Structure 1
Amino acid sequence: MVTMTWLHGLRFDPISPLLSSGHPAVRFWAARELPPPPSGPAAGPAGTLEAALWDLPIPRRILRRQAADGSWTYPGRRPRARTDYDLLETYRQLGFLVEMFGLTHRHPALAAAADYVLSRQSAEGDLRGIYGNQVSPNYTAALIGLLSKAGYSGDPRVERAFSWLEASRQDDGGWALPFRTRGRNLDALDDQRTISGDPARPFSHLITGVVLRAYAAHPRHRAGASAQHAAALLAGRFFEPDAYPDKGRVSDWTEFSFPFWMTDLVSALDAISVISPNLQSEKTDRARDWLSAHQEPSGLFTGHLLRDRFHDLQLWFSLAVCRVFARMPSPGAPPAA
C-alpha cells in the first residue's frame, strides 16, 4: 500500500494539480497510481484503459498515420543508408501510445506494431537496424521494454531478447555500446561489419539506464540479480559524466523528456524504484533533493524539459517524479508499507 510519507520534504502538494489538469490521460494515471491528495480535488473513478484513453484525439491521430505493416514512417531526412529510420519512428510512436495512453496487445494497432518490431529480431536475439549492422543494447531494450508493458512479457521472442541482453553485459555488470568500447565513433553506424565489444571496458550509464527500463517493465526479470546489481551501478553514477562520449556532460543528468528517451535522473530513478525501491545512497538522496528543489508553487516540477511535442510535458514530467517519490522512501524514513 502506498502511503503519503513520500510527500515529506516537498513544499507543495503535487497531486492536486495533476488531478485537476486539462489532460485526461494525466488525470487517469494520477488517479490510478497516486494516493489521494492531502487537499484539493478527489481523484474520482479512473475507469478502464480502453474507455478512458484509447479513443482520445492524440492516440487516434497517431494511429491514423500507422502503415499497413504496423510501422510508422520517419518524417525527416535519412542521412545514413544503413539506419532503419522507420523502426526508430515506430519506437517513438510506441512510446506515446504505451507510456501515455496505455495501449496494450488487446489493441489491433499495437499488435501490428509489435509484429513489425519483432520482425527486426536477429538470430542472436537483439533488435537490429537503428544502428545499422551494429548491435544496440539500448534500442533493443527500449523496444522490448515497451512491448513488455504492453502485455508481451511472456512472448518467446521477448525472452530471447532478454537472453541476449544478459549475455551482452560488460564484466562489471552494466551495458555499453560495443563499438564505443572499441573506441569507434558514430561512423561505425555505416560499417557493414558488426563490431564486437570489449567486455572489460566500463559500463555506460546512458546505455545501462535504458536497458534497466526494460528490466523494470518485465515482471520476472526485474527481480533478477542482473537488474538489482545494475540498478546499484547506475545509482552510483548520478551526477557524473559517462564513461563514453555520448553523455559526457554532468548536465545531461538534468535534461528530461517523456516518454523517457535517454538516461536522466528521473528515468533512472523510475527504473530503480521498481527494481530496487529500498535502494538509498548519498547520490539517490541528492537526486531527490535536486527534484524537490525544482518544485514550483503550483506543485508541478520543472527542469530542462526536452521533446515537448504535445505542449504538456511538465505535467508528464511531474507525474513521473511523483511515481518515483511514491515508490522510494524519503531520506531517513522507513520503507513504505
Structure 2
Amino acid sequence: MTWLDGLRFDPIAPLLSSGHPAVRFWAIRGFLPESAGLPAATAGAPGEELWDLPPVRRILRRQAANGSWTYPGRRPRASTEYDLLETYRQLGFLVEMFGITHPHPALAAAAEYVLAHQTGQGDLRGIYGNQVSPNYTAALIGLLSKAGYSEDPRVERAFSWLEASRQDDGGWALPLRTRGRKLDALDDPHTITGDPAQPFSHLVTGIVLRAYAAHPKHRDSTSAQKAAELLAARFFEPDVYPDKGRAVDWTEFSFPFWMTDLVSALDAISIIRPGFRSEKTDRARHWLAAHQEPSGLFTVHLLRDRFHDLQLWFSLAVSRVFARMRS
C-alpha cells in the first residue's frame, strides 16, 4: 500500500473486516473500487442498500413533517433556532455516513426546511439568531452539495454570499467577533456588520472550506485555493478569536466533522489542493500516524456521539486523507 506511506499499519483491513456495513461499503468504494466493481468514492452516491440500515430508520422516524428534527436538549437562547441546529446534526449522519441524496424524500424535505432559512443576501440564518454565520451557512450548504444540490440556484446564491463575506486576508471569521463582541451578541436583534480588515478565524475558515471541497465547481476557485493554504499555515496554533483559543483544539475530533480539527482540515485541503504539502501538513500526518494502533485503527480524543463505532468512522476519514496526500 504505497499510497499509505507514513503509516505503520494497514488501516484498511480492519475497516473491511469490521462488520459495519456502511464503513465497509465506503472502504471498498474508496480503496478497492476495481476489485469490487464499484466506481471511485468521489464519483457519486452509493447504492440504496445503505439507506435502509437500522441507524437510518431510527433517524428518519424522528423527522418532523416540515423536514426538521427536534432539538432534544435545553434551549437557553430564545433567539436560536435549535431545530435547525439539530437538523444540521442529523443531516451530517445521513449524508456523510449513509450517503443519502436528494432522491430520498426525507432528504428533499430536510433541504427545503434548511433553505427556507436563506436570507435575501444568500446566507442561512437562525442558529446564531439574526447574526451572520459563515460557518453554519457553509456547513449546511456543504452537506446539501454532497447530497446532490450543487446546481440548485439557492446553493449558488449561498456561495456568492460566502465569496463576498471573506476577510481581506482571504479567510473567513464571525462578523461579531471581528467587532470584539461576545456571544451575548447572539441575542442582539440587529445584525452586526463585520470588520473585513481583521484576521481570519481558522475555526470558521476550516468549516467554510468543507463546503467548497464538497462542491464540484467551487472547490477549484481561486478563493478556495488561497484559503486552503491559509488554513494549513495555522495548524497546531490557537485561533485568533476565543471560540477555539487553544492549540489542543486541533486534536479533538468528531465524525461527521463538526468543528475544525486536523483531519477535517486535511480532508478539505486534500480535495481543494491535491498534492499540497507543507511543513505543518507533514507534521499533522506524522501526528496522526503516531496515534495508530497495531490493529490499524487510530486512537485519539474523539468527541462522543450516539454512534458507538466512532473510531471506525474516524479511521476511515484519516485513511482517506492519507490516500489523497500521497508522498
Displacement of 1:179? 0.1
Work out the CA distance in 2 between the residues paired with 1:309 and 1:253: 22
CA distance in 1, matches of 2:304, 2:112: 27
Q: Matches of 2:77 and 2:28 in 1, distance apart?
A: 44
Q: How far, CA to CA, are the matches of 1:53 and 1:227 in structure 2?
A: 32
Match of 1:234 among 194, 215, 231: 231
Structure 1, gaps ≥5 residues long: 37-41, 331-337
What residue is the counterpart of 2:26 in the other structure? 29
CA separation of 1:165/1:224 partners in 2, compared to 1, >3 Å: closer, same or farther?
same
Match of 2:96 among 92, 96, 99: 99
TM superposition shift of 1:21 = 0.5
Cα RMSD between the aligned structures? 1.4
- What residue is the counterpart of 2:267 in the other structure? 270
Letter of the 1:324 partner, please give it: V
> Any runs of at least 4 consecutive aligned residues in structure 1 with deviations exceeding 6 A, and if so which?
none
Letter in 1 for 2:56: P
Matched to 2:121, the amino acid is: E
| 2:198 aligned to which of 195, 201, 216 | 201
Q: Does residue 303 of the first structure (1) align with residue 300 of the second (2)?
A: yes
**Mapped pair 1:66 → 2:63:** yes
Aligned partner of 1:294 in structure 2 is: 291
1:45 CA drift (Å): 5.7
Residues in 2 aligned to 1:50 and 1:278: alpha-carbon distance in whole angstroms: 30
CA shift, 1:9, in A, is 2.0
Find the aligned partners of 2:141 and 2:49 in 1 and give their Cα distance.
25
2:117 and 2:125 in contact (8 A); partners too = yes
Q: Secondary structure of 2:156's match?
A: helix
Secondary structure class of the residue paired with 2:193: coil
Superimposed CA distance per residue, residues 212-252 of structure 1 (whole angstroms, 9 cap, x where no aligned partner): 00000000000000000000000000000001000000100
Shift, 1:160, TM fit: 0.3
Q: Deviations over 1:184-220 (max 9, x none)?
A: 0110101111000000000000000000000000000
Given candidates 140, 152, 160, the residue that maps to 2:157 is: 160
Given that 2:146 and 2:214 are in contact with CA atoms closer than 8 Å, whether structure 1 keeps it comes out as yes
Give CA-to-partner distance per residue, 1:236-294, whole Å, 9 cap, x none.
Answer: 00000001000000100000000000000000000000000111110000000000000
| Structure 2 stretches lacking a partner, 5+ long | 40-44
Residue 253 (structure 2) pairs with residue 256 (structure 1): yes
Q: Using a 3 Å threshold, how does the CA distance of structure 1 residues 307 and 46 change in structure 2: closer, same or farther?
A: farther
Q: Secondary structure at the match of 1:81?
A: coil
3-state SS in 1 of match to 2:308: coil
- Report the TM-score, using the length of structure 2 for normalisation: 0.96
**Equivalent residue for 2:42?**
none
Give the distance between the partners of 1:203 and 1:93, measured in 2 at CA. 28
2:324 to 312, 322, 327: 327
Q: Could you tell me which residue of structure 1 aligns to residue 175 of structure 2? A: 178
Aligned length: 322
Amino acid at match of 2:3: W
**1:51, CA displacement in angstroms?**
3.3
Q: Aligned pair 1:87/2:99, yes or no?
A: no
Tell me the amino acid that sits aligned with residue 203 of structure 2. Answer: L
Residue-by-residue CA offset, 1:130-174 (whole Å, 9 max, x unaligned): 000000000000000000000000000000000000000000000
Code of the residue aligned with 1:311 in structure 2: it is H
Partner residue, 1:225: 222
Tell me whether 1:246 sits opposite 2:259 in the alignment: no
Tell me what 1:334 maps to: none
CA distance in 2, matches of 1:275, 1:323: 14
